Amino acid sequence: MDLSWILLGLIGWALGLLLLLILMRMAKAQDRAARHAQKRLDPFTEVTITQLGEPPQEDNSAPAVSDCADRQSPR
């Protein structure tokens, strides 16, 4: 009985650590994309780009709010 609780605890810690690492990787990708977006909007801003290259591409399947505002609704 004691061994099963120890194993269950170790599995719980491993899953928690895995979840934490996944969340940290997602936050890193989002921060990098935000820095690149800010640099595109204002090229003279003092934003540090930590890695060369393009940021991860985001899913643009839904239209942006500005795209929807330009369209007139049919009446």
pLDDT of residue 65 exceeding 60, the answer is no
Which of 8-12, 27-31, 67-71 has the largest mean confidence?
8-12
* Cα distances (angstroms) measured from residue 4 to each of 8, 9, 18: 6, 9, 21
The phi, psi pair for 19, rounded to 5°, reads: -60, -40
pLDDT at residue 68 tops 60 = no
Confidence of residue 7 (pLDDT cuts 50, 70, 90): very high
CA-to-CA separations, 37 to 8, 14, 28, in angstroms, rounded: 43, 35, 14
pLDDT band at 51 (very low <50, low <70, confident <90, very high): low
Q: Using CA atoms, how far apart are residues 55 and 28, in angstroms rounded to an integer?
A: 11
| Cα 35 → chain centroid | 12
* pLDDT given for residue 56 in this prediction: 56
pLDDT digits (tens, 9 = 90+) for 26-47: 999 999 888 888 888 888 888 7
Q: Cα 8–10–13 angle (5° rounding)? A: 110
